[in-house]
Structure 1
Amino acid sequence: MSLVEIARFQDVYEADLAAAFLSAHDIEVSVTERFQTTVDPLMQRALGIRLMGRADQADQARDLLKRARAGEFATEEGDDLNAPEATVRAASRGLALLAFASGAGFVGTSLPRRFSAFQWTGLAILAAAALLSLALWVVATLNA
């Protein structure tokens, strides 16, 4: 039994979804280049992720994937998620800003390190902004 390329993807997760979809339709496939692309994710775009299957099922598998891309198997309920609440978005932005200002996004080693002046300045600005927003919230709450 020889294997042939059914499809090629640039993302291992997309390839896994296609493999699961085809497996649900009783078509045997395997995702290749998984090790190389998960060790070095930049290789996903360079090599691509191949979906390999049996030669006698290749045409049926390609047809199913083509029909899936066209939306034939989509449900009426859709795939959209509800947008997050404004408070969740604000909290996410605040945490991201805190991580950036504290240098958490630039940590390259696990060695103990001290904050730089830039990071202390960022933390001070964040603390001042947090106190100001807290004060504005208290004033708005008391006036309501």
Structure 2
Amino acid sequence: MSLVEIARFQDVYEADLAAAFLASHGVEVDVTERFQTTVDPLMQRALGLRLMGRADQAEQARDLLARVRAGEFTADEDDDLQPGEPTTRAVGRVMALFMAASGGFASTSLPRRFRPVHWIGVGLILAIVAISLFLALTGVFSPA
């Protein structure tokens, strides 16, 4: 059984998705160069990832991939996500600001209990909250 190149992709996720699609249609393929491209992601662009399959199924696989690119398998359903509520986005922004200022996104391999806390960021956030509460309670933010 000889293997031939079915397609070449620049992204490991796209290659895996194509391989899963072809497998669901009975075409056996294998994604090559996976190890090299996942160890060093920059190699994905340099090497690319190849879908290798049996020679007797190559034409069927290429035909299926061409039909996918043409949009034959798209659904008419509305899959678009609806925009979130403004309050939900505001809460998310505040949480992200707190995590960034307090060191929650610290890029270290240390366990969480050993990571340093960015006390300046925590203090800054607490000061902003305190000033906002003070101004709200004194009526500065009340509508005219």
Alignment of 1:1-144 (within 5 A): 1-110=1-110, 112-115=114-117, 119-131=118-130, 136=136
Q: CA separation in 2, counterparts of 1:34 and 1:20?
A: 15
Q: CA separation in 2, counterparts of 1:134 and 1:58?
A: 67
Secondary structure at the residue paired with 1:4?
strand
Which of 1 and 2 has greater Rg? 2
Q: CA separation in 1, counterparts of 2:65 and 2:133?
A: 53
In terms of fraction of residues, the more helix-rich structure is 1
Q: CA separation in 2, counterparts of 1:20 and 1:27?
A: 9
After TM superposition, the score normalised by the length of structure 1 is 0.76
Q: CA separation in 2, counterparts of 1:133 and 1:7?
A: 58
What is the total number of aligned residue pairs between the two structures? 137
Q: Which consecutive unaligned segments of at least 5 residues does structure 1 have?
A: none
Secondary structure at the residue paired with 2:105?
helix
* 4+ runs deviating over 6 angstroms: none
After TM superposition, the score normalised by the length of structure 2 is 0.76
> Given the superposition, is the C-alpha separation of residues 58 and 11 from structure 1 closer, same or farther in structure 2, using an over 3 Å criterion?
same
Tell me how far 1:65 sits from its aligned partner: 0.9
Tell me how far 1:134 sits from its aligned partner: 6.1
Q: Which consecutive unaligned segments of at least 5 residues does structure 2 have?
A: none
Identical pairs, percent: 62
RMSD: 2.8
Tell me if structure 1 keeps the 8 A contact 2:30–2:51. yes
> Given the superposition, is the C-alpha separation of residues 129 and 35 from structure 1 closer, same or farther in structure 2, using an over 3 Å criterion?
same
Given residue 127 of structure 1, which amino acid in structure 2 is its aligned partner?
L
Q: CA separation in 2, counterparts of 1:14 and 1:132?
A: 49
Secondary structure at the residue paired with 2:121?
helix
Given residue 79 of structure 1, which amino acid in structure 2 is its aligned partner?
D
Q: CA separation in 1, counterparts of 2:84 and 2:42?
A: 31
